Amino acid sequence: QLQLVESGGASVQAGGSLRLSCVVSGFTYKSDCITWFRQPPGKEREAVATIYTGDGMTYIADSVKGRFTISQDVAKNTVYLHMNTSKPEDTAMYYCAAPSSWHPCPPRPLASAYAIWGQGTQVTVST
């Protein structure tokens, strides 16, 4: 069973940068993609960035485009979310997620389409 562990969350001031990490372990297959989601207090979980692990192609949500990027270090089995020019509205619990074993990346980045989740890491952006 694939396991995901996030880290790197912190409290930062607006305009600051953070790098979140998602370490992937326990796999007997390579997940087709890894997606970062976030869930602000009292709101639904939304996808912010996806990386296709085979060719490294990425998708960035419009809400964070130009500020967030996603990358992977294959040797370290780690996917990163790079958060730049942070804003108070970026405050949320951030999760990385993968589709079910041997399933392709969901065509739409809906939380309900992902079966494997990490425990989350908290990001707080203050003014």
Report how far Cα 54 is from the mean position of its chain's Cα atoms. Answer: 17
CA distance 93 to 45: 9
pLDDT score for 28? 61
CA 70 to chain centre: 8
Share of the chain above pLDDT 70, in %: 98
Higher pLDDT, 101 or 95: 95
Of the candidate ranges 22-31, 74-83, 95-104, 106-115, the one whose mean pLDDT is the lowest: 22-31
Q: How confident is the model at residue 102 (pLDDT cuts 50, 70, 90)?
A: confident
Q: What is the pLDDT of residues 46-95, one digit of tens each?
A: 999 999 999 999 999 999 999 999 999 999 999 999 999 999 999 999 99
Q: Tell me what pLDDT residue 27 has.
A: 67
- Dist. CA 125–CA 10, nearest whole Å: 8
Nearest to residue 84, comparing CAs of 67, 70, 99?
67
- Alpha carbon 80 to its chain centroid, in Å, reads 7
